[in-house]
Structure 1
Amino acid sequence: MSARDKILASLRQSLEGTQPLANPFDASLVDKPWRYKPEERITRLKELMTAVHSEVHLTSSQAWPALVCKLLAERAINKLLVAPTTAHGKALANYCENEDSALKLLAYDRPIEEWKRELFDEVPASLTGTLAGIAATGTLVVQPSPAEPRLMSLVPPLHIALLKASQIYDNLYQAQQHWPKPMPSNLLLISGPSKTADIEQVLAYGAHGPKDLIVLLVEDA
């Protein structure tokens, strides 16, 4: 028997004849104080995210691709990193093709080692989906995946996030009830652009990630 097995066996033996304690967790303590009427969720999330320098736009499932192109054109950005295999990646690609858009769509389709310099130095913006929104804190929940790796929402100076209005929940506890099972190994909670005040207490944006965040709230058509 290995040392590890001996330790585990000893722990199991020490529990013989004991009874587990009742779980004292009360969901209402983390849920009830942070509930909102359905029509208030969008307003609260927008107010909280706008207060920390995020830009939030209400749009629809048909109109958001045109809005993306418009917002990027206003910033003189002609390149956007997207996940071409996702539904929103395909929708934007179709729009750009049909409208003969000058926007160049870049795909994260290589190992990071093959294009690290290009990603960090030459990609001005990215577009990702989101898993959920949290009204209580004005937070986006982003689930990285092979199609949309974590660096897509962390490296480009501008991050554009698509959020369905139907996926805005009152609080973190409620959002957790809708997370994939088993729980993903990596989830990002984003409440605004990257910022820090570590140096002389001067607030600076973009220190550890995007300095600009645009949230497109897609209302159900």
Structure 2
Amino acid sequence: MSNSAENRERILERLYNAQQYGRDAYIPQKKVWNIKNQSKEKNIEEFTERMTAVRTEVFRTKGTEWVGELQKLVEERGQKNLLHAPATPTGKALAANWGKDSSCKLVTWKESIEEFKDELFDCDGAVTGCLGGIAESAAVILWPTEEEPRLMSIVPPLHVVVVEADSIYTSFQDAIKKLKWNKEMPTNALLISGPSKTADIELILQFGVHGPTDLIVFITE
């Protein structure tokens, strides 16, 4: 009998004996979450502080002012284009308020990746919305869709995320509860905390290995 077969028989025997002699199975203790939800301003303060600590640029604006601020930033940095999803609220706001004479041109996401592949990899940056932010872990919550796919936040070297101030939650548990994930769980929810980074190579921290080298977050009221 092979070792794997012997191990299987031993495990089954222990389970059978436990059932025969009425031994109670081990039940781990339920962990109690005691994180108290903070005020909106406190959430924004901690979110900004912790996001900045992981090399994310965070700006706070009102309404669609973020569009003008973003336009200034990318023009100063000499970026030639910016990808957006025209069917989303964020994409619509961007297109409606972007300067016509800007040196940075808007690129529209196309549904067919095969047709859009070359253009996608030529984009300097991309703008997406999000479900919200988490103050405790300094992260934004992305829920990619067909209109705003995951590739937009992976391929371009710059990722710009627009988050509503009212949608910055104290903790992940707070976000799950208020977003009602018990009724509609996202199929591909993502938590992004800062630019892509890794220290796998000789324990030296490198940015942009698996995604964008820069992350900009606009908090809007």
Match of 1:18 in 2: none
Structure 1 residues 37 and 94, CA gap change in structure 2 (3 angstroms): closer
Match of 2:81 in 1: 79
**CA deviation after TM superposition for structure 1 residue 66, in Å:** 0.4
**CA deviation after TM superposition for structure 1 residue 71, in Å:** 1.1
Instruction: Say if 2:58 and 2:218, in contact at 8 Å, map to a contact too.
Output: yes
Mapped partners of 2:79, 2:64: distance in 1: 22
Q: Percent identity?
A: 44
**CA deviation after TM superposition for structure 1 residue 46, in Å:** 0.6
* Number of aligned residue pairs: 195
Mapped partners of 1:52, 1:130: distance in 2: 19
Mapped partners of 2:77, 2:36: distance in 1: 37
Structure 1 residues 190 and 34, CA gap change in structure 2 (3 angstroms): farther
Instruction: Say if 1:56 and 1:217, in contact at 8 Å, map to a contact too.
Output: yes
Match of 1:199 in 2: 201
Mapped partners of 1:212, 1:185: distance in 2: 26
Residue type matched to 2:88 in 1?
A: T
Residue type matched to 1:154 in 2?
A: I
Structure 1 residues 45 and 75, CA gap change in structure 2 (3 angstroms): same
Larger Rg computed on CA atoms: 2
Instruction: Say if 2:85 and 2:148, in contact at 8 Å, map to a contact too.
Output: yes
3-state SS of 2:185 partner: coil
**Aligned 1:160-175 pairs, distance under 5 A:** 160-175=160-175
Residue type matched to 1:127 in 2?
A: V
Residue type matched to 2:196 in 1?
A: S
3-state SS of 1:33 partner: coil
**Aligned 1:81-120 pairs, distance under 5 A:** 81-96=83-98, 100-120=101-121
Per-residue deviation, residues 36-84 of structure 1 (Å, max 9, x unmatched): 2332101100111100100000111131110110111121112110001
Per-residue deviation, residues 161-187 of structure 1 (Å, max 9, x unmatched): 000010011100110121453211101
3-state SS of 2:73 partner: helix
Residue type matched to 2:39 in 1?
A: K
Per-residue deviation, residues 92-145 of structure 1 (Å, max 9, x unmatched): 111125x5434311111132122223312x111000001011111111001100
Instruction: Say if 1:82 and 1:107, in contact at 8 Å, map to a contact too.
Output: yes
Structure 1 vs Structure 2 CA RMSD: 2.2
Residue type matched to 1:44 in 2?
A: E
**CA deviation after TM superposition for structure 1 residue 25, in Å:** 4.6
Q: Which stretches of structure 1, 4 residues or more, deviate above 6 A after TM superposition?
A: none
TM-score normalised by length of structure 2: 0.82
**CA deviation after TM superposition for structure 1 residue 24, in Å:** 6.7
Match of 1:182 in 2: 184
**CA deviation after TM superposition for structure 1 residue 23, in Å:** 11
